[in-house]
Structure 1
Amino acid sequence: MNKIMQKNWQVPHSNVKEFFLKKNKYCVCVPVINEGEKIQKQLKRMSEFANIIDIIILDGGSTDNSLNIDFLMSIGVKALLTKKDKGKLSAQLRMGFAYALEQGYEGIITVDGNNKDSIESIPSFIQKLEEGFDFVQGSRYVPGGNEINTPLSRKLAIKLIHAPMISFISGYRYTDTTNGFRAHSKRFLMDERLQPFRNIFETYELLAYLSVKAPKLGYKVVEIPVTRSYPIGKIPTKISPLRGNMSLIKILLGLAMKKYDPK
């Protein structure tokens, strides 16, 4: 029986292709689906840090050939995990976290695969993990952070709704709670009081849940400056602003009612 079954983790079925053995203490998990040239450009940028962090791709089922095996191997990607099960971002993260923990990584950084984030910030996340922080949130809105062309609807949702509510529920003052550029320690993710490997986390629930539980469980939390840049003009997105914001509010209400806490 494998480790996941022994822990009763609920992890999406996936196809795992490993290209290299574990080389580093930490890894970076990149959830992605059909990002075309954007993910390829991002991975080329990330390859600069392949000597200090292992790169793991969490594919939600891309069909655009952007994750070509020869390309991934050429830039030093450690593994490609392709989800073969239901669920969206939270399912991809559960898949990646489970794989990384079983591989023995001491900390896991996550960053979206749409080439919007300051990949050069990766060493700063590693430094905070080394300093003993358990949850490191990247933020555009702390000193040194930067935002470029953030859509007004998203900025207002973060500043007026999401960040204030997450801060209130968690007891820690966050400024950029929808940002997926983060780091998590092994001890935090393995805490029995957290239990992130449950099917209740399917869409975007896990991001908010981790933000809330880290300070509430007494772990060391910090925000660090990052840059997030959107292209000029119409913003390509897989979520409509109205539907996306309504979904986030529903998740926030669930958090306030402790819907996602282990039973």
Structure 2
Amino acid sequence: MIFVLLPALNEEKSLPTLIPKLNTELSNFNEGYKIIVCNDGSTDGTQKMLEDFKRSIPLEIIHHKINRGLGESSRDLFELASQLSSAGDVIVRLDCDDTHEPEFIPNLINKIREGYDVVVASRFAEGGGQLGVNSYRTFISYGANSFMKLFFPIKGLREYSCGFRAYRAEKIKEAVSFFGNNFIQLKGLGFTCTLEKVVKLKLLDAKFTEVPFILRYDQKQSSSKMVGSVTTLGYIVMTILYYWPWGGWRNSIKSRHANWSLSNDHFQ
């Protein structure tokens, strides 16, 4: 099975384009699939549109009555995917604003099938890039990725801030089982959760790689949900938590996970 996760907030303009493309791409696989959308308190026609799509495609909706933010939406999506998935399944997460083209999904899945745990769609891999991004956002993006690469170096990874990724279902099930509600701990700090998942999976010895993709920001129709100051604060908080001399993530989590693995060898 392939599980596709979509966090959505006021995406009534993007969904009529994205969902049919996604459904067509997934239909080309010789295996089942399910699209899971978290409607995070949308105030436009997003919920009704999702209900309409649900009549004709395998789609499940998580509905937040009020906006809870990307962190809580991601937590709910990954926890549900962990419950529904089985060994051999793949979990793909992408944005709901039509900037992540579904045509890149086969390349992500193929790398998972080769034995990787996490595959990132990367603007910085050879052949990757972006369209429609202004010079300011480009500068901020490169700066953020340089910061992350410096403080959280991961072999095989150059792209840290893009949420378009594929995950081996077993590794997500392991992460949810081990971390519990703290797999995404910094839920109130904007887009920090996108980096936090990568860091937490690294501490569980996940194997990473990238595939090139083109970010289509020129296709974005909804407004940006990122609050730069909040996300920047989140990166700083996570860096402190990771490197704190006594009980920092890099020491405490690795130690706890080693002991946990001895009694949970079915996740290996």
TM-score category (smaller protein): 0.7 to 0.9
- Residues 171 and 216, structure 1, Cα contact 8 Å, conserved in 2: no
RMSD: 2.7
Aligned residue in 2 for 1:82: 63
Aligned residue in 1 for 2:83: 102
- Check 1:235–1:176 CA distance in 2 against 1; reply closer, same or farther (3 A cut): farther
User: 1:228 is matched with which residue?
Assistant: 215
Question: Is it true that 1:219 corresponds to 2:219 in the alignment?
Answer: no
User: Where do 1:97-246 residues align within 5 Å?
Assistant: 97-105=78-86, 106-160=89-143, 162-172=144-154, 174-189=157-172, 190-191=174-175, 194-195=179-180, 196-197=182-183, 200-202=186-188, 203-231=190-218, 236-239=223-226, 244-246=227-229
Amino acid across the alignment from 2:202: P
In 1: Cα distance, 2:221 partner to 2:67 partner: 29
Q: Which moved more, 1:176-185 or 1:76-85?
A: 76-85
Q: Deviation at 1:86?
A: 6.0
The reply on whether 1:57 has 2:37 as its aligned counterpart is: yes
After superposition, the C-alpha distances for 1:119-178 in whole angstroms (9 at most, x for unaligned) are: 101111111221121111111121121310112222111212x11121122222643322
CA deviation after TM superposition for structure 1 residue 184, in Å: 2.0
Unpaired runs of at least 5, structure 2: 243-247, 257-268
The match for 2:22 is 46
The CA distance in 2 between the partners of 1:255 and 1:145, in whole Å, is 28
Change (3 A) 1:188 1:35: same
Structure 1: where are the runs of 5+ without partners? 1-24
Kindly indicate whether residue 59 of structure 2 is the aligned counterpart of residue 92 of structure 1.
no
**Is the Cα–Cα contact under 8 Å of residues 40 and 66 in structure 1 kept in the other structure?**
no
Look up the equivalent residue of 1:181 and give its one-letter code. F
Aligned pairs, number: 234
Q: Give the secondary-structure state (helix, strand or coil) at the position aligned to 1:132.
A: coil
Alpha-carbon displacement from aligned partner over 1:92-132 (angstroms, at most 9, x marks no partner): 11111111111124331111100111210111111122112
CA distance in 2, matches of 1:125, 1:233: 22
Q: CA, structure 1 residues 138+124, in 2 after alignment: closer, same or farther (shift >3 Å)?
A: same
User: Alpha-carbon deviation of 1:194?
Assistant: 4.6
Task: Give the Cα–Cα distance (whole angstroms) in 2 for the partners of residues 214 and 98 of structure 1.
Answer: 15
- Deviation for aligned residue 1:258: 1.7
Give the helix-richer structure, 1 or 2: 2
Identity value in percent: 19
Per the TM alignment, residue 232 of structure 1 is displaced from its structure 2 partner at its CA by 8.1
Decide whether aligned partners of structure 1 residues 70 and 59 sit closer, same or farther in structure 2, where only a CA change above 3 A counts. Answer: closer
8 Å CA contact retained: 2:98, 2:220: no
The answer to whether the Cα contact below 8 Å between 2:39 and 2:46 also exists between their aligned partners in 1 is no
Q: Distance in 2 between matches of 1:148 and 1:235?
A: 16
Give the drift of 1:204.
2.1
